[in-house]
Structures are given as C-alpha cells and as structure tokens.
Amino acid sequence: MNIALITGSAGLIGSEAVEFLSGKFDMLIGIDNDMRSYFFGKDASTIWNNNRLMEKIKNYKSYNIDIRELKPLEKVFIEYGKDIKLVLHTAAQPSHDWAAKEPQTDFTVNANGTLNMLEFTRIYCPAAVFIFTSTNKVYGDNPNKLPLVELNDRWEIEESHPYFKEGIDENMSIDQTKHSLFGASKVAADVLVQEYGRYFNMKTGVFRGGCLTGPMHSGTQLHGFLSYLMKCAINGDHYTIFGYKGKQVRDNIHSWDLVNMLWHFYLNPRVGEVYNAGGSRHSNCSMKEAIKMCESITGKKMNYTYSEENRIGDHIWYISDLSKFKNHYPDWSYKYNLEGILTEIYNGFKSRN
C-alpha cells in the first residue's frame, strides 16, 4: 500500500494536497487539530474544510493530533510507517505578528513539531520523501536592504540589479537579519529538514513560499493576504494597510501550483534540497494594485485606511526566483496568474456564503 501523510491537512496547502494526491495514493492520512482557530479566532477555523474533505475524498483519513505531542503522533507512524511513501509537512503557526504574542507556542509548533515529524520519519519510514513548506521569512529583512525604487503604485528593484529579471534566489543569506520570531522558528525548522537530508541521507525538500493563496484559504488579518483582502472587499469590512505607502510587493502562488511543484519533487526527489516557491514575475502585486483588482472583480469600493507603522520584519519588495526549481523540473509550469487567483478566491467566498 502507498500512503501519503499530510500535516495541516485541513489548511490551504494541506487540503489542496489531499485533493491533488487522492488519486495518486491508496490512502491519505491527515493530521490537523484546527490550531488555526486558536491562532486567529473562529473565523479562521479549518473544521469546515476537514469536513468537506472527509465527505469528498473516500481514501482520506483524518486524525486530530497536535504535532507537538509525541505519543499520539508516534502511534500513527507505528501503524502506517512501512507504507508511508510521502510525508508532506505543512502544519505551522504562520504569522509573524502572532508569534510575538506566544513565542513558546510558535517555536514548539514550528520547530519542535518539525523535529518530531523528521525523527519519526527517520525511524519508521526512512525511504519516504519528506517535503516541508517553509517561508520567505527565513531571509528576514535582508530583502529590504536591496536597492529599491519607489514607483507610482509599487516598490521595485533597480533594473541593473541581478534580482530584477527573475527575483530573489536561494543564495540570499538567512543570517544576521531581523526575521521576526516566526521567521526564526521557521529558520530552525528549515535547517533541520536540510540537515536530516544531508546527515541521514534522507530525501528531503524545503520549499520557501511567497504568499501562498487560493479559494480554500481561511484568511484573517494576521495571515492570508489575498484571501483576507477579498473577504473584506466582498463584505465591506474595514482593511488596514500597514506601512510602506501601500506599495509593498508580494508574489502570490496558487495552492494548486505549489502542490504541483511538490508532486514533481516527489517523483524525482533530491537530498536536502531548497527551493524558493512563489508567484515570481508571473504573479505579483503591491497592496495598492491588489486593492484595485479586488474592486474591479467585486464591483465595490473597498473600505480601507492606511497606517504609517509597518509590521516588524515585513518585506518591502519580495519576488521569488524559481529558476532553480524550473531547471531541476522543466516539466512544471504555472496554471494560475494573479487575476485567475483572485477570481477563484472571489468565487470560493461567494459559493460558501
């Protein structure tokens, strides 16, 4: 039997992976305890998504387990370990603002939880492919030290800089920079995944995401940029832009496109590899540009204000260079552009409400 084990299986990337992989594995084991509702409140709960998956995906089995708890987690590995071919670890505390409220919770979920997953994989299914969804926050605020130019609606990097054409590559330093506590806990997890690959010769892959998004995202103010923005656009809720004149730039990748990247890695895995994974030059926008697009799609003016105080460690300009991944996996390509992503998010909200 071939089994894929997915943590955070009711979240954005986890649930996309469950649907994507349902016809490719005999069984999908999901681990998700809805901590997102603890982090961000009941509106961020993923229970609805887990229920949807259990009803729709017949070979999906869900376990309500905290990845910090060793005994219940190990029990799953003991039961299924010999048949687990893929471990996809997407569970996390995902907000750098929230991490400052409860640093111990953030670190134990992101770092200790990842260590638990790696160690049980090494013990019970060492031949499995282990994939970890990291974050561009591992680079801290180093991107803000790039030579940036202010344009009418966005910040942009100088055309003469090597990053102008494709974006920021994996060689940017993750050292001596302000990460936020969230970024620091993800650095620890990121390096652990690399080390288990290199030290134990395990097939591990790290994917440093830009803004991950899609219609199944339970977006909130503290996490889920495009999802929360569209939610406010539809409902008329107030939205606050934090700093940088609303011209800060993010690249955005649809959850399906990211999971497809992970699938390509699974089919031809490497040891301790690292990839940037975002929308690249293909799909990016500033806050101001995103608001205009939401207003165009909804036909409504957004209710928003601007705060001069930017979030600690926030990026002014971040676009991912995917050249390395495309070179290793030339058959992969994007399915969604920015307009397609926002339209899907809009349609998703309308269908659920």
Of 18, 67, 58, the closest CA to residue 262 belongs to: 18
Examine the pLDDT at 280 and tell me if it is beyond 90: yes
Number of structural domains in the chain: 1
Mean pLDDT of 102-127: 98
DSSP-derived secondary structure for 306-325? EES-PPTT--SEE-B--HHH
Q: Is 332 left (phi over 0), alpha (psi -120 to 50) or beta?
A: beta
Given the DSSP bridges, would you call strands 84-89 and 129-135 parallel, antiparallel or unpaired?
A: parallel
19-74 per-position pLDDT tens digit: 999 999 999 999 999 999 999 998 889 999 999 999 999 999 999 999 999 999 99
The answer, yes or no, to whether residue 216 has pLDDT greater than 80, is no
- The rounded distance, in Å, linking the Cα atoms of 271 and 125 is 15
Residue 339: CATH number of its domain: 3.40.50.720
Contact predicate 113/132, CB 8 Å: no
What single-letter DSSP state applies at residue 168? B
pLDDT at 347: 87
The CA distance from 348 to 353, in Å, is 9
Reported as type and span, the H/E element at residue 291 is helix 287-298
User: What confidence tens digit (pLDDT) does each residue in 133-175 have?
Assistant: 999 999 999 999 999 999 999 999 999 999 999 999 999 999 9
User: What is the predicted pLDDT for the residue at 171?
Assistant: 97
CB-CB contact of 271 with 129 (8 Å): no
Number of alpha helices (DSSP H) and beta strands (DSSP E) in the chain: 13, 15
∠ at Cα 28 (266, 189), nearest 5°? 55
pLDDT digits (tens, 9 = 90+) for 226-268: 888 888 888 899 999 989 999 999 999 999 999 999 999 999 9
In this structure, what token pair is assigned to residue 219? 């977006």
* pTM, two decimal places: 0.94
Q: How far is CA 121 from CA 4, 76, 116, 127, in A?
A: 12, 11, 8, 8
> For residue 265, which amino acid is it?
F
pLDDT at 231: 85
Q: Which tokens hold the place of 157? A: 């990097």
Element at 198 (helix H, strand E)? helix 180-200
What does the pLDDT read at residue 312?
79
Tell me the residue range of the domain where 77 lies: 3-352
Task: Please list the residues that pair with 312 across neighbouring strands.
Answer: none
Contacts 24+ apart (CB under 8 A), 191-194: 192/111, 192/114, 192/115, 192/118, 193/89, 193/114, 193/118, 193/130, 193/132, 193/134, 193/272, 194/272, 194/274
